[in-house]
Amino acid sequence: MANSFYLVTLLPLIGFLISGLLGKKIKNEKVIGTISTLAVFIPFIIAALTFFELLSADPGSRKIVLNYYNWITAGSFTVNYAYLIDPLSISLVLIITGIGAMIHLYSIGYMHGDPGFAKFFAFLNLFIFAMLHLVLADNFLLVFLGWEGVGLCSYFLIGFWYEKKFTGDAAKKAFIINRIGDFGFMVAMFFIFTNFNTLDISKFLEGLSGYNVGDPLLLIIALLIFLGATGKSAQIPLFVWLPDAMAGPTPVSALIHAATMVTAGVYLIARTSLLYALSPVAQMTIFYIGLFTALMAATIALKQNDIKKVLAYSTVSQLGFMFIALGTGVYWVAIFHLITHAFFKALLFLGSGSVIHGMNDEQDITKMGGLKSKMKITFITFFIGSLAIAGIPPLSGFFSKDAIIFETFKEIGLPFMIITLIVSALTAFYMFRMVALTFFGKPRYDQNKVHPHESPSTMTLPLIILAVLSAIGGFIGVPHFMGIPTYLEQWLHPVFEKSTAVLETIHKVQEPSMATELLLVSIAVLVAVVSIVIAFRRYSKQESFEPEKGFGKVLENKYYVDEVYDKAIVTPIQKTSEGFLWKIFDIKIIDGFINGIARYVSNISFDWRKMQTGIIQDYTTISVAGVIIIMVYILLS
Amino acid sequence: MIEINYYLIVSAILFCIGVIGVLVRRNAIIIFMCIELMLNSINLTLVAFSSYLGNINGQIFVFIVMTVAAAEAAIGLAIIIALFRNKESVNIDEINILKW
């Protein structure tokens, strides 16, 4: 399988070229849709076969490096176009291609009739291509290629309906804010190159063994990489692009802003986990930012009325959970939550897309209601997804979220665990608020104008598959005390064993008793169930909506973060650029300098011009004078 | 025998008169005459040296100089006539189109 692994990235590229270049000629939507979906599904098959190959191999040797091309050679510095296939990367490749293929299938139905149908699939394939490079790359430079590539495709896809100004603005916002993170990543690469003379990830991790815990250089690199991660994975302070990115088509939100691109930051930190194990300060920073982001985003989601905005803030919050997991040092749990979140968040987004499609592009949940009888499959799958995200056993979200809450208690402490419980409660609450307002109660829309209908099977089939995965996907990471082996932890063990070893030398925690674990699990479930019940009772019968007042208004306006950024950062930069750098520095100083030189030369020439009288005798006079001077000089010397 | 110095001095004086004439006179034809004067003063020098050194080369060169002078005068006068047809004047103070 390793011999044909190149197809995994080549096929999406070919799909992009076909849809992009020949899309206008092949007007048949089914053909384009099928080609694009196969361009992602076949890689999934190949990845699955490679997965089984790795599974059957010896646990210590589950690592394949495929070197295709010697990209850069400069003295002793080499960068290869090479893929690193190990448990971590193959898991992510499966998620990307698997969920990606389902979303491609879904898009055939969702984007039906759109004039840019072929362009959409071209960009989706290009995105898969770039994202695969990000996770498969063997060195930071290739990761960065994928990193930038997904940012670019995100820009294309968010701004897909660019005729509306808001959409173009949202795309620009996403790209620019991502860029700030990219700057962090780039500077980190500079530091890595200068100090380790390599950008190869494996060599870098080996080189770390010569450094002590708490080394300032490692801290700088770790924080810079984390800055990049906050940009891509929408954490504080760079999360503001994600809610705006909902302006793009719903499959884009599902694929990019739920399942794949936003997890790039989590993946990168997991990949370089040894660095973070050696920098406790950086690791705690990740924990705090993840925690604070999770809490903040969950509170904002409570008061959002756009179905996709709720899910957007939910994504930011759940990404916060993943960073909390990274911050506790139990890295496999972050990947676990990444996987389960990919399942249920993609499901929820696709479900919301189905609702939007059925409600004739209506996105405001205050204008919905009673849809459960009209869109049965969408309702059931959406309900399952909501149960998963709320953390109800035995669905997948329960296992991954519970693992995070437990690890927070074990590694960090009780007060922080309580905060994660609060976020968990809020998550359950806002999700079921949304479910209640959308699917239950009496219809709050004009029944004559809007006729909600179930979506076609190309859209409902992915929903069903994802619902099944959300329900049973958690069993790969069952906690020890329940008897089933924690498959995912064992599978990812080779990737994280060095980092875990370093963390154990720093501080060893008491493994809590089974009773404590059971108690915590029960509390978490109880909290979730209570939140669901309260939300349900409050919102399932709601008829009318009053404008928000007080703190509710602050939440609805997302703590005015965008306005604060605008006043504190954007406007000053704009004013300085316009008022000072342009009007004064560029026009007066630089232009003035250049024009001044020109004027100076012009003035000198004005006087010297007078030598040209046009009278030959003047010229002859000067010639003769010259001759005389030369003659005198020769005669005298 | 007249000493060569005298010939050379006469020749030099003639040359200087010619130069000053070129620089000072306004009429183009007069300027040409002064140029001829300069050329002839050179002829005189060449012949004087040929006689003094007993070498015939000087006199041969005089022939060449005369030929060149004649050719150059022909062309120059043709130019002046063309100029006169355009400008109705041979006063070179008025021929200053190359003025800035």
> Quick check: A191 pLDDT over 90?
yes
- What pLDDT is attached to residue A558? 80
CB A390 within 8 A of CB A436: no
- Average pLDDT on A439-465 reads 82
**CA-based nearest residue to A341, from A248, A226, A262:** A262
- What pLDDT is attached to residue A543? 72
What is the interface pTM, i.e. ipTM, of the complex? 0.87
Give chain A positions within 8 Å (CB) of B96: 613-615
**What are the residues whose beta carbons fall under 8 Å from the beta carbon of A428, sequence distance 6 or more?**
A389, A390, A391, A527, A528, A529, A531, A532, A535
pTM: 0.82
Q: Could you tell me the CATH number of the domain that includes residue B45?
A: 1.10.287.3510
- What pLDDT is attached to residue A46? 93
The chain A residue lying nearest B31, using CA atoms, is A617
- What pLDDT is attached to residue A604? 93
Cα–Cα distance, A479 to A403 (Å, whole number): 7
**CA-based nearest residue to A249, from A173, A159, A310:** A159
Of A614, A617, A620, the CB nearest to B98: A614
**What are the residues whose beta carbons fall under 8 Å from the beta carbon of A473, sequence distance 6 or more?**
A339, A340, A343, A396
What element of type H or E holds A85? strand A77-85
**A616 and B19: CB-CB below 8 Å?**
no
Q: In this structure, which amino acid lies at residue A241?
A: W
A71-75, A256-260, A469-473, B66-70: range with lowest mean pLDDT:
A256-260
**A276 DSSP assignment:** H
| Minimum distance, in Å, between the CA of residue A596 and any CA atom of chain B | 24
**A612 and B95: CB-CB below 8 Å?**
no
Cα–Cα distance, A442 to A24 (Å, whole number): 44
- What pLDDT is attached to residue A1? 67
- What pLDDT is attached to residue B85? 92
- What pLDDT is attached to residue B43? 96
Cα–Cα distance, A25 to A17 (Å, whole number): 13
Task: Report the residue count for chain B.
Answer: 100
In a domain, B12, yes or no: no
> Quick check: A376 pLDDT over 70?
yes
A363-372, A542-551, B91-100: range with lowest mean pLDDT:
A542-551
> Quick check: B1 pLDDT over 80?
no
Cα–Cα distance, B20 to A588 (Å, whole number): 55
Cα–Cα distance, A275 to A214 (Å, whole number): 10
> Quick check: A197 pLDDT over 90?
no
> How many beta-carbon contacts under 8 Å exist across A and B?
29
Tokens coding A260: 């794949």
A67 in helix, strand or coil?
Answer: strand
- Average pLDDT on A290-298 reads 93
**More confident position, A509 or A63:** A63
**B95 and A616: CB-CB below 8 Å?**
yes
Cα–Cα distance, A536 to A84 (Å, whole number): 47
A79-93, A254-268, A589-603: range with lowest mean pLDDT:
A254-268
Write down the mean pLDDT value for chain A. 88
Give chain A positions within 8 Å (CB) of B22: 617, 620
**CA-based nearest residue to A532, from A393, A429, A421, A395:** A429
User: Is A610 touching B (CB cutoff 8 A)?
Assistant: yes
- The 10s digit of each residue's pLDDT in A563-594 is 888 888 888 888 888 888 888 888 888 888 99
> Quick check: A107 pLDDT over 70?
yes
- What pLDDT is attached to residue B66? 96
CB A437 within 8 A of CB A359: no
Tokens coding A400: 């991954």
- Average pLDDT on A27-47 reads 90
Q: How many domains does one find in chain B? A: 1
> Quick check: A235 pLDDT over 70?
yes
User: Is A620 touching B (CB cutoff 8 A)?
Assistant: yes
The chain A residue lying nearest B26, using CA atoms, is A617
| Minimum distance, in Å, between the CA of residue B96 and any CA atom of chain A | 4
In a domain, B98, yes or no: no
- Average pLDDT on A436-464 reads 83
User: Is A616 touching B (CB cutoff 8 A)?
Assistant: yes
User: Is A635 touching B (CB cutoff 8 A)?
Assistant: no
- Residue ranges making up the domain that contains B86: 26-91
